[in-house]
Structure 1
Amino acid sequence: MRAFRLQSLQGLRQVQSRLPHQASWLRPGCRVYQAPTSRWSSSTSSEGSKKPYYVTTPIFYVNAAPHIGHLYTMVLSDVLKRWQTINGREAYLCTGTDEHGMKIQQAALKEGLPPKEFCDDNSNKFKSLAEHSNISHDFFIRTTDQDHKDVVQEFWQLLKARAPEGLGLYKGTHEGWYCVSDECFYPEDLVQPSVVPQTGRKIMISSESGNEVEWVTEDTWFFPLSKYKEKLLKFYQENPDWIQPASRMNEVRHWVENHLEDLSVTRPATRLNWGIQDPEDPGNTIYVWVDALVNYLTKAGFGSKWHVDDADTGIWPADVHVIGKDIIRFHAIYWPALLMAAGLPLPKKILCHNHWTMSNRKMSKSLGNVVNPFSALQRWNVDPLRYFLMRNGSFKGDMSYANESIMAIYEKELQANIGNLFNRISRTKLGKWSTFEAVEAARKGDFDNIGGFIPQRVDDPSQPDFLSLEAALNGAPSEIQQDMDETNLSNALRGIFELLREANRFITDTEPWNLVKKTEPDARIRLNWVIYRCAEALRIAGIFLQPVMPSRAAELLDGLGVKQERRTVDFACKGADLDYGLKPVPRENLQPNAFDSLFPPVAGTELPDTEPVAAKDDSKKTSSKGKTKKPKNRLGRVVQSLAEEAQAAAKTGVDTISTIRALLVPYEAHHVRQYHAWMQDPDIQEATASEPMTLEEEYENQQSWRTSSDKLTFIVCAPVTQVTSPIKSGTADADDLMRGDINFFLYPFEDDDETVDTEGLVTGEVDVMIASPSHRGQGLGRAAVCALLVYLQKRIDEILAEYGARELKGLMVKIKEGNKGSRALFEKLGFVQKGEVNYFGEVLMTLGWEEVLRKNWWKGAQEDFREVEYDLGG
């Protein structure tokens, strides 16, 4: 299903960004703004050698404890660094904590602690998280460190003294709307009036974040951001791939074109004293975001090892800044402009990820569903959790953290796929087979004459296909490597899964346990061929898995006898290493469960993320006749399920809504292909703020949307003239009768003033799309919305109960500014626009839930509404 929209900018403080300069290490074809005062454009000190790879996480704000989103960012950055390392490139990773600003000052005061003591405690939690999750960071920076303070003040002096005339800092008086929560000013067109529902107090809020703003007048230093508009736009045009994904670049470009204002970069020390002071004007504290962004320069050695005019800048510029979507403006607009002014190279890429939800529900302290990363690491163990985060991570839509999903992936992809194949191949037994013998056979040339030992299936169709694994072994490595190079980590892990699944099928089909019993001359060669081919699949997979699961991948490669120096990407292809394998070991010398430890059974999904990992389970048993017994454990059931590869389609009776103008049916698997075809249209992507997905991703999202408690999704179809119950799937909702979709999302209601208990209060978002222009303007969209709202009114109690909420406060829609048709539709239904166009080019329209029943159209909508049973078939 369509990727979630961007949520508004929040106060979470991660920090990063950058780009390249015209130096010898610059990515080919990447052009940058040339600062007049910089001599780096002619730098040749790194000529002939590649600059070390430098990746940064945001620095995390210490006003709260770490959550699963912080862990995801750390792991993602660590995977990027480790990938470069196994490609033979020197690489460095920087992470750390952001410790200055008004929120820290206020939080410390509330706790009754000095700010530094407050920061020490919370910073240690983030450092501990990095250590517990096996993050290979080279630097852990704190903005309270003295070396960082020195670098910030030196950078500040550059902005004052070295910037081109008219493009540096200037003193002035600033009046504007300031948000304490977001720690930034907002322009006039991005604030709007609002009312605190519980108290009736009138306030002004940011239309981006929804947080309260206040009018502030103060003397300040300004950075002339508006004068960098054309330079920034030119840079974006010349480097269109600078931000990944591309949709984020469009948002940044829109902001620069429409909302750029000069930036107030100091705060009065009388109001904010917890920060770094202007060395020449100590009555002013440097803006916390300038302070925070400069951290990337600090650990690259600026100010101590090199300066603006130095030829050799070491690891700078950063090769990639990994950031969350809520801080992209600071990194993709403020940061490059500041670097341009200082004459410094820009970072080479910004990688912007989405946010994690809990079982597709927004994580919220009031709902008690914020995942404790330390508990999750204890429960699932480090590498399996790292695998899940990378496997289900996304740059296209918000991501769902669910114990059920982790367990399913753990059992299917780790235990039953990787672990099962490893167990079958690596369990070396005297008189059976061994990886050493199999690899030695390949090295000696036993497999050179394939036709001599592999029977022809044309002559004997009952023979297994001894060549069925060749296509995967030949093609998968290059595809996986390309996905890793392009940061398509989820696709890369799917590729590894498919390779090993083919290997498991291959070993099941060729039955080496029977080959070992045969006495004909070629039987041993065929046995070694099977073991060698499967060992190659495991070895290649193990090399590629090292950045994601460093410990388990090392254990896997150790179990195959792969030498340390042969674990780089250069060896990740068939036949690249003929010097590995372990010799047979007598059974009495094997330790109990010697090969069961790679992915042992874990506790069920019913346990919360505060429970420890469970003990191991028994392994699957096979009868002497070769028939699989009924499995007695979860792993056995999964293995059997994968082997059978057959699932009976569920026959369920669910609701369909029929009206005069539209038919609404549940979103089911047979709708996905048509839906996927719709979403390839760039106009629909733009209108729905969506990124195109693969067909596999659409199928996965369909399952998520059908089972999630915070989403309600229907496919909008052409109306039926004669309604019969039940409506059979694939008839009235065939591809040629599908017209679009309508969705309803639930979000926790938030009170920024924290004046009332918001637990159990929710807001609902309505989203409708009619795919083809030829079907628009016929009343389909209005009919679908009206039918959905009547359905909600009839089912609101059970919907809220399933979600765990007690009251629906109101409805909202987010519509692209240029989508006049949708705006008119919702205006006629009584929705009212709140504020101006936001940062993402959307207008927000709202309607109170209790107001819906008082609208003139409501009675007619109720009369037109009819629920019909929907039969999925058998």
Structure 2
Amino acid sequence: MKRVHITTPIFYPNAKPHLGHFYTSILCDVQNRYYKLNKFNSVKNITKFTTGTDEHGMKIQNAALKANLDTQKFVDNLSLTFKELCSKSNIKYDRFIRTTDSDHVKEVQNLWNMCKDDIFMGDHAGWYSVSDETFYPAIHVRELINGNMVSLDSNVDYSNVDKSRTFINTETNNNVIFFQEKNYFFDLNKYKDRLIDYIIKNPDFVQPSNYKNTLLNTLKTEQLTSLSVSRPTKRLEWAIKVPNDSSQSVYVWFDALCNYLTSIGSLNKIKDPSSTESEFMRNTTHVIGKDIIKFHCIYWPMFLMSAGLPLPKCIVVHGHWVNDGVKMSKSLGNVVDPLEYIEKYGSDSLRLAVLSHSNLIEDNNFSATYVSESRNIVLVNKLCNLVSRTSKKFNPRPAVEFWQPIFKQNQGRITPELYESFDEHFKESKIIKTALKEIEYNTDWLINNYETSMEKFEYQKVLGCLMNLLNSGNSLFQNAEPWAIKDKDLFKHRDLVLFLSLEVVRIFCIYASPIVPEIASNVLKTLEVPESETLDLSFAKLGAGSAYSKQSKKGISILTRVNDED
């Protein structure tokens, strides 16, 4: 048993949630549910899963002003849309943190004081992006002239530039404005070599490795300038004030990153290595999009080093999404609203579709077809229909009661004699034996690889095996044709097919429960699998557990197809 803390970044509530928010949240929710599975002897981990909204900063301040709303009321309304996403996506967090929460405000100021030896006041002139809430060096800024991006002239003073001129940064292509002001700064260079050394000695700190390698190359080759960690309050009023200096507001990223600490408890407790709060922090996994690597993989560990606080266990980075091969944008009108798909197909269908067609390393392509197929083909036709087919014309309970103890005695193995027994009486014996081998192979793979793959966020790999297992169960049932068996001497074969078909469903649902929790739970309840055996990996093998299932002559309708034309 160990303590595990899993986090999404806190989301900026300046617009309604999109597919990217859903994806990050689902990655975390699946991981959290996985850690809650009983592994052996009913041993569970103690987990915290936190998400929330980042509610300070100039973007929020300007958006509220534009909407003619009180800023607090503005963020109150928008944070509800992210809670709604979690609710309708079946995302079970332990805390939804908001940076306007009173305990968070206190801990941000506490973190500032812990880092104050590395913070100093200085003059700051630079190009600031309101959208990104960060400054960009001049080498990453271009002026947009007649549709062309033109490099800045080092001989020109841009401090009093005409407001009608447009400048963008080359990293995100968002607009930047030149600011000249006094700010507090954090000395990044002081921790540069220490961070490089830490990443090298802890190769799993940033995952996957392609992002880690890019990060190390950046740290080794690029000069780090001191980071501005405050803004003048006269320019940024909607923010936490710097301790003992109300003329300055805390930089929104310094504020936002601290949410991971506040979600665990007080910083003073986290700093105590013997505390449970410290254990949670040391076992924290941050899941982030690749666009915010700099903030989480450079700034954040440096702030923690400065404060004398433990670093998280790892930072897992994922790519972005495109829609049918086209980058999503509001102007194109192709931004995917996850709630629309959930309303039509259900949360499990969207969860399954997204995780089946994504991996961390690459940008991923979304298609509405994926969601439809997940619902209609996988969950309805292959999973629920297999349950119905095994119980409509048969009473599968005697089959389970007969074969289950035999498989327990054989440690879940299909004996050579059982393979050979299909040769004489079944016309599709070759296909049947292939299906039997695939059932064995895929259950073995899951027993040996499921935990490692899940902890590496390799959900696509796990789902690939689960789909193969489900396909094998359907192939066995279809080709053995148990409904056509009339010879009493073959009833044991018929019962074996019924039993293994149900075992495929049962085992699939236990392993898939973190990914499609609603349908997995409903199927296992329908099969009358004891609740104590539904979320326990020790029962996820052939023949394990108690007797289950019953006949339903009217058929079982657990989930119905959705007409794509509706």
TM-score of the superposed pair, with normalisation by structure 2: 0.89
Q: 1:477, 1:573 within 8 Å by CA — same for their partners in 2?
A: yes
Which of 292, 312, 336 is equivalent to 2:275? Answer: 312
Supply the distance in 2 between the matched residues of 1:52 and 1:176 (Cα, whole angstroms): 43
Shift in Å, 1:198: 9.8
Does residue 1:440 correspond to 2:405, yes or no?
A: no
2:187 matched residue in structure 1: 224
Deviations 1:298-324 (A, max 9, x none): 0101247x1424521432234311111
Amino acid at match of 1:433: N
Supply the distance in 2 between the matched residues of 1:549 and 1:235 (Cα, whole angstroms): 37
1:191 matched residue in structure 2: 141
Q: How many residues align?
A: 535
Amino acid at match of 2:532: E
1:573 matched residue in structure 2: 541
SS of equivalent residue, structure 1 residue 144: coil
Aligned pairs for 1:117-136 (under 5 A) are: 117-136=73-92
| Distance change >3 Å, CA 74–CA 461, structure 1 → 2 | closer
| Distance change >3 Å, CA 526–CA 62, structure 1 → 2 | same
Shift in Å, 1:459: 6.0
Deviations 1:145-192 (A, max 9, x none): 1010011011111011xx5xxxx1112222222222211111233223
Amino acid at match of 1:81: N
2:557 matched residue in structure 1: 596
Q: 1:62, 1:99 within 8 Å by CA — same for their partners in 2?
A: yes
Which of 8, 24, 27 is equivalent to 1:73? Answer: 24
Shift in Å, 1:357: 1.9
| Distance change >3 Å, CA 313–CA 338, structure 1 → 2 | farther
Aligned pairs for 1:501-650 (under 5 A) are: 501-515=471-485, 517-520=486-489, 523-567=490-534, 568-577=536-545, 579-585=546-552, 587=553, 590=554, 595-598=556-559, 600-604=560-564, 606=565
Shift in Å, 1:416: 2.6
1:814 matched residue in structure 2: none
Supply the distance in 2 between the matched residues of 1:64 and 1:227 (Cα, whole angstroms): 37
TM-score of the superposed pair, with normalisation by structure 1: 0.58
Q: 1:108, 1:115 within 8 Å by CA — same for their partners in 2?
A: yes
2:205 matched residue in structure 1: 242
SS of equivalent residue, structure 1 residue 119: helix
Which of 461, 469, 490 is equivalent to 1:499? Answer: 469
RMSD, aligned α-carbons: 2.4
Aligned pairs for 1:169-208 (under 5 A) are: 169-195=119-145, 197=147, 202-208=165-171
Amino acid at match of 1:247: N
Supply the distance in 2 between the matched residues of 1:124 and 1:96 (Cα, whole angstroms): 10
Amino acid at match of 2:31: L
Which segment is superposed worse, 409-418 or 100-109? 409-418
Supply the distance in 1 between the matched residues of 2:103 and 2:355 (Cα, whole angstroms): 34
| Distance change >3 Å, CA 325–CA 478, structure 1 → 2 | farther
Supply the distance in 2 between the matched residues of 1:263 and 1:206 (Cα, whole angstroms): 17
2:104 matched residue in structure 1: 148
Supply the distance in 1 between the matched residues of 2:94 and 2:542 (Cα, whole angstroms): 33
Which of 486, 489, 513 is equivalent to 2:459? Answer: 489
Supply the distance in 2 between the matched residues of 1:189 and 1:197 (Cα, whole angstroms): 19
Amino acid at match of 1:575: G
Which stretches in structure 2 are left out of the alignment for 5+ residues? Answer: 151-163
2:34 matched residue in structure 1: 83
Which of 42, 50, 59 is equivalent to 1:94? Answer: 50
Q: 2:129, 2:175 within 8 Å by CA — same for their partners in 1?
A: yes
SS of equivalent residue, structure 2 residue 142: strand
Amino acid at match of 2:401: E
SS of equivalent residue, structure 1 residue 227: helix
Supply the distance in 2 between the matched residues of 1:55 and 1:453 (Cα, whole angstroms): 45
2:156 matched residue in structure 1: none
| Distance change >3 Å, CA 59–CA 147, structure 1 → 2 | same
Q: 2:436, 2:472 within 8 Å by CA — same for their partners in 1?
A: no
| Distance change >3 Å, CA 532–CA 177, structure 1 → 2 | same
Deviations 1:651-698 (A, max 9, x none): xxxxxxxxxxxxxxxxxxxxxxxxxxxxxxxxxxxxxxxxxxxxxxxx
Q: 2:271, 2:310 within 8 Å by CA — same for their partners in 1?
A: no
Q: Which has the larger radius of gyration?
A: 1
Q: 1:56, 1:318 within 8 Å by CA — same for their partners in 2?
A: no
Q: 1:453, 1:525 within 8 Å by CA — same for their partners in 2?
A: no
Q: 1:421, 1:500 within 8 Å by CA — same for their partners in 2?
A: no
Supply the distance in 1 between the matched residues of 2:371 and 2:423 (Cα, whole angstroms): 44
Which segment is superposed worse, 560-569 or 475-484? 475-484
Which of 218, 231, 243 is equivalent to 1:267? Answer: 231
Q: 2:120, 2:185 within 8 Å by CA — same for their partners in 1?
A: yes
Q: 1:273, 1:285 within 8 Å by CA — same for their partners in 2?
A: yes
Does residue 1:51 correspond to 2:2, yes or no?
A: yes
| Distance change >3 Å, CA 450–CA 101, structure 1 → 2 | closer
Q: 1:72, 1:389 within 8 Å by CA — same for their partners in 2?
A: yes
Q: 2:428, 2:479 within 8 Å by CA — same for their partners in 1?
A: no
Shift in Å, 1:227: 1.6
Q: 2:439, 2:472 within 8 Å by CA — same for their partners in 1?
A: no
1:681 matched residue in structure 2: none
Q: 1:58, 1:95 within 8 Å by CA — same for their partners in 2?
A: yes
Supply the distance in 2 between the matched residues of 1:171 and 1:230 (Cα, whole angstroms): 23
Shift in Å, 1:241: 2.3
Supply the distance in 2 between the matched residues of 1:307 and 1:483 (Cα, whole angstroms): 30
| Distance change >3 Å, CA 478–CA 331, structure 1 → 2 | farther
Supply the distance in 2 between the matched residues of 1:584 and 1:459 (Cα, whole angstroms): 29
Which stretches in structure 1 are left out of the alignment for 5+ residues? Answer: 1-49, 608-874
Deviations 1:321-379 (A, max 9, x none): 11111111100110011001111111111111122222221111111222222222101
1:278 matched residue in structure 2: 242
Does residue 1:327 correspond to 2:292, yes or no?
A: yes
Supply the distance in 2 between the matched residues of 1:463 and 1:291 (Cα, whole angstroms): 65
Supply the distance in 1 between the matched residues of 2:341 and 2:83 (Cα, whole angstroms): 17
Supply the distance in 1 between the matched residues of 2:333 and 2:507 (Cα, whole angstroms): 42
SS of equivalent residue, structure 2 residue 8: strand
Shift in Å, 1:581: 1.5
Supply the distance in 2 between the matched residues of 1:186 and 1:463 (Cα, whole angstroms): 67
| Distance change >3 Å, CA 111–CA 540, structure 1 → 2 | same
1:823 matched residue in structure 2: none
